[in-house]
Structure 1
Amino acid sequence: MFNGLANWWDNAELWLAQLWFPAQFVLVIAVLGPLCLGAAWLIDRIVDRVAALFRPGRDGDCSSQ
Structure 2
Amino acid sequence: MVDAFEQWWDGVELWLAQLAFPFQFALLMCVLLPLCLGVARLIDRVVDNASTRFNPVPKVPPASDEAKPDQVDAGRSS
TM-score (norm 1): 0.79
Unaligned runs of 5+ in 1: 60-65
Tell me how many residue pairs correspond in the alignment.
59
Letter in 2 for 1:21: F
1-side partners of 2:57 and 2:10: how far apart? 53
Structure 2 unaligned regions, length at least 5: 61-78
- In the TM superposition, what whole-angstrom CA distance separates every residue of 1:11-38 from its partner, at most 9, and x where no partner exists? 1100000000010001011111111111
Root-mean-square deviation (CA, aligned residues, Å) is 1.3
Point out 4+ residue stretches in structure 1 off by more than 6 angstroms. none
* Number of the residue aligned with 1:8: 8
Question: Per chain length, whose mean CA-contact separation is higher, i.e. which structure has more relative contact order (CA < 8 Å, sep 6+)?
Answer: 1
Percent identity, aligned pairs only, is 51
More helix by share: 1
The TM-score normalised by the length of structure 2 is 0.67
